[in-house]
Structure 1
Amino acid sequence: MDQTADGLEAAIDRLVRRFYAKGDRDDLLGPVFRAIPAFDEHIGVIVDFWSRQLLGTDRYQGRPFPPHWKLAIEPDHFDRWMALFSETAREELPADLAEQAITKAGHMSTAFQAGLFPLRGPDGRPMRLPRS
């Protein structure tokens, strides 16, 4: 695998595009992925996000949490997201970079779930804050 900066950028691009293609076909994630407006623009933003996370570039300057607040996602979505992301990272990235990406994605998943589901319902399952 090409370990140059350009080669790693290309691998990140392939990772993101392949992951979103898998997610689009997935029974659980597909409806969420298909609801993303301006999909091509979104892919570019996500490529920039992972370039920053994995290569230290400065192309991504956003805040990833706020856009996810409005999505119809539940904790099960995060488990499936991690499974597909991990599989795809291992397919597209050099082994060390794949494991770094999976670790970062795991931390992000934990943080997002803590922010999205800060309460537990009577059944013990995570739930969102009551809407006003």
Structure 2
Amino acid sequence: MEPTIAPIEDAAERAKLEVAINDCVRRFYAKGAEDPLLGPIFTAIPGLDEHMGIVANFWSRTLLGTDRYQGHPFAAHINLPIEPAHFTRWLELFRETASETLPETQAEQAIAKAAHMTQCFQSGLFPFTGADGKPSRVPAQ
């Protein structure tokens, strides 16, 4: 179930949250780049600054209801060399970073959204079970 957005009417509070979102995204990508499992994927992102801007826009839409992000994040991840273990680590790092950088309410909302996304992405990317019983992109042979 998608988390709901807690409206923030105060312009100063919205501005502070935008700064926190940008900080969260930058810290998360820095941690991801240094992570032994995620690093090879994060460091291969072309145009990283532009990418982080897109991701910040996604979280602004998610947490503040802005309309700056209109994309479809699943499509951007279809051809990445990722496995189920990447999702577990991604969510761990995101949970840690969101808790460090966002106000508690928005951190909880962001973490709930991220958990929902990891579940959906895994279901879409690994719709089958391999002969070994593990998630797979292709049917068991």
Normalised TM-score (structure 1): 0.94
1:92 aligned partner: 101
2:117 counterpart of 1:108: yes
Tell me, yes or no, if structure 1 residue 81 matches structure 2 residue 59.
Answer: no
Residue 51, structure 1, aligned to residue 60, structure 2: yes
Q: For 1:64, which of 73, 78, 91 is the aligned residue?
A: 73
Q: What's the offset of the Cα at 1:109? A: 0.4
Q: Equivalents in 1 of 2:40, 2:110: separation in Å?
A: 24
SS at match of 2:132: coil
Q: Distance in 2 between matches of 1:40 and 1:97?
A: 23
1:15 paired residue number: 24
Give distance in 2, aligned partners of 1:23 and 1:5.
27
Identity rate of aligned residues, in percent?
Answer: 61
- Residue 129 of structure 2 aligns with which residue? 120
Paired letter, 1:67: A
Output the amino acid matched with 1:91: E
Distance 2:111 2:76 in 1: 21
User: 1:67, CA displacement in angstroms?
Assistant: 1.2
Distance 1:129 1:63 in 2: 23
Following superposition, which runs of at least 4 residues in structure 1 exceed 2 angstroms of deviation?
Answer: none
Structure 2: gaps of 5 or more residues: 1-11
| Aligned mates of 1:57, 1:91 — CA distance in 2 | 23
Q: Deviations over 1:35-82 (max 9, x none)?
A: 111111100000000000111000000110111011000000000000
2: CA distance, partners of 1:38 / 1:17: 14
Q: Is 2:130–2:138's contact at 8 Å kept on the other side of the alignment?
A: no
Partner of 2:8: none
1:26 aligned residue (24, 32, 35): 35
1:67-100 Cα shifts (integer Å, max 9, x gaps): 1011000000000000000000000001111011
SS in 2 for 1:13: helix
1:129 offset after TM fit, Å?
Answer: 3.0
Q: CA deviation at 1:104?
A: 0.4
Shift of 1:26: 0.1
1:34-49 → structure 2 map (5 Å cutoff): 34-49=43-58
